[in-house]
Structure 1
């Protein structure tokens, strides 16, 4: 795998400008997931839809660490998780089961991110789910869905139930499993994941204190749930995304290769 990654020629110029930009953004998201310590070795996936009528998607080469992924190494696949075109890298069709179901059902879910962080799995096991005990938690709670655990997510029949549970929400907690966000852009999906992950971290830390918790009153919760656009000046993830790319460029710009 390392030799293949090192010898991978750049696809810039071989794909459309729109696809190349998506490749750079998705590779950046993989690197950021690794940077923040949210990766799970080679497991879990981030995916984004490529423009066009074919319903093709970009996903990680299976076996590569998130910190190794580059724009050119991302693999193009179809809705069945099968490779499209020439790529030396393997993919994990089973890993695309969740992503494929959401991409197919939600036209607005251009990017889907799924993680198995310690804090995310811990909160997914809490019977009450995500609690309204921090300012961060209020934004996911404005549109948070839950999906009960049914075992390893590889069965076709689970797709319909997963999609029905997600509905129109952009945040989901997969019970006993992890976290999921979806959005029209990589930047929006990443910011949503950052906020959801941070909410879980705060909840786990607060519960570890073994002291009574103070929930946010419902009227305040209702008010803040509608103020997300004001917090980001109506720019969503694009407000933070350029700064995150600058961080990556300082750390290791090879994600752009």
Structure 2
């Protein structure tokens, strides 16, 4: 029996935060069909985690829909409610290998994916938003196919550096990690905005005004010290959903 079918469901606030992030990702158009996945660790070791069920659209996600998986359970894909095998391959590998990656969000949002398709997929600090990621992202230039077990383990290895919180998955999309749903979703949202600004700037054909390393690093640290922007953003998202689509809590 999966956790969602039990009378007393645990981790309800964490589930509601994650469900709200799914709903808002759909509103922002950053989802893709019924693919892409978000996960959140719920034990101290980071190996037990919530994740979206196979084939559920982000716009319909509810707190009680989320599966509770154990990254160390080899029989996970044999469950009657087994997750998407690529979700298990990627997120399971990250939660096994990277305990600091409490929350993991992976999407194929348009501008991040365009960036991932460029020969040079790095995000330069061309504005305040892109400076948030200065020295804090890694480019995976070795795409090896869909994220089943082997590919998932390879990707997880790129996230062992705790300073790296964003992975531009070459020829694939973007993956961000964080300690909370709020922090991680905020990073996902701002990365897509930053990628869009950069791609649109490239489309002008004009020279780019790139920030110096000194100013880019200063700005990145200022973002990190900013007073709970991520928490306030998620709180506002939940307030809007409470007024318009409160079933996400269900």
* Superimposed CA distance per residue, residues 28-63 of structure 1 (whole angstroms, 9 cap, x where no aligned partner): 111111111101010010011123669321111211
| Separation in structure 2 between the aligned mates of residue 123 and residue 138 of structure 1, nearest angstrom | 16
Q: Work out the CA distance in 1 between the residues paired with 2:43 and 2:117.
A: 37
What is residue 28 of structure 2 aligned with on the other side? 36
Q: 1:97 to 1:88 in 2, by over 3 A?
A: closer
TM-score by length of 1: 0.85
Backbone CA RMSD of aligned residues: 2.4
Q: Is residue 81–residue 100 contact of structure 1 (8 Å, CA) maintained in 2?
A: no
| 2:221 pairs with 1:229 | no
Q: Which structure has the higher relative contact order (CA within 8 Å, separation 6+)?
A: 2
> CA offset at residue 248 of structure 1?
1.7
The residue number in structure 2 matching 1:220 is 215
Q: For residue 184 of structure 1, what is the aligned residue in structure 2?
A: 179
Corresponding position of 1:5 = none
Q: 2:198 aligns with which of 203, 212, 234?
A: 203
SS of match in other structure, 1:108: coil
1:200 and 1:54 map into 2 onto residues whose CA distance is 29
| Residue pair 1:119, 1:200 contacting (<8 A) in 2 also | yes
For residue 240 of structure 1, what is the aligned residue in structure 2?
233
Question: What is the TM-score of this pair, normalised by structure 2?
Answer: 0.88
Q: Aligned-pair distance for 1:65?
A: 0.7
| Alpha carbons 1:75, 1:83 under 8 Å: kept | no
Which deviations, in whole Å up to 9, do the C-alpha atoms of 1:177-224 show, x marking residues without a partner?
A: 111111111111100101111111111111122222111122211221
**Cα distance in 1 between the residues matched to 2:47 and 2:63:** 19
Structure 1: segments with no counterpart, 5+ residues: 1-8
Structure 2, unpaired ranges of 5+: none
Partner SS for 1:249: helix
